[in-house]
Amino acid sequence: MAVRTANASPSKPLPPISTTSSPATSIDISAESLSLTAGLAEPGPVNLEKALRANDRLGGHLVSGHVDGIGRVTHFAPVGESWELRVLAPLELARFLAYKGSVTVNGVSLTVNSVRDSDAGCEISINLIPHTVANTTLGTLHKGGLVNLEIDTIARYVERMLSVAAATS
């Protein structure tokens, strides 16, 4: 899917995204999204998933598709039959990243295998199975590349509840 950046407005809503055999689809992206997102300056592939319906069985991570920050790939290499991906996340996301927690990298929801905090940020390690590498844009990642990160929705609300409780007590 190719992405064209433009300004969205109430009078010009975002077009629906559908599965077609078309080689390219154009979508509008707000200035807010562009300020938090890497990789949309030029047309190229993106990862899209259908939204969870209210009556669907929940069997994965809770994410919404909103980018929370930009990370940098520090390592991407095969390990046996899978791949290890390490990403340095910004310090402001460190409190949301946990061992066996979830994070979304470029729209793909993944499980964190390890977390290492440093002055430069929070480096997370993720194991990618061959199917993920072959069927998403994650297979094209490289050391030094930028990735879009989204934290788990539950972690976001827990942090908010704790900060409000601390401020009011």
Residue-level pLDDT at 71: 97
State the CATH class of domain 62-168. mainly beta
Residue-level pLDDT at 125: 98
Task: Profile the chain (169 residues) by mean pLDDT over runs of 10 residues.
Answer: 38 42 66 75 71 75 83 97 97 95 93 95 96 93 96 89 90
In order, the DSSP letters of 91-160 are GGGGGG--TT-EEEETTEEEEEEEEEEETTEEEEEEEE-HHHHHHSGGGG--TT-EEEEEE-HHHHHHHH
Residue-level pLDDT at 100: 94
Residue-level pLDDT at 22: 54
Q: What is the pLDDT of residues 19-45, one digit of tens each?
A: 444 566 677 777 777 777 787 777 777
Residue-level pLDDT at 20: 45
**What is the residue extent of each domain of the chain?**
1-9+16-45, 62-168
Residue-level pLDDT at 144: 98
Residue-level pLDDT at 53: 77
Helices (H) and strands (E) in the chain, counts: 3, 6
Give the rounded distance of the alpha carbon of 32 from its chain centre. Answer: 16
- Other C-beta atoms lying within 10 Å of the C-beta of residue 65: 11
Residue-level pLDDT at 23: 62
Q: What percent of the chain has pLDDT over 70?
A: 79
Note whether 85 and 50 are within 8 A (CB): no
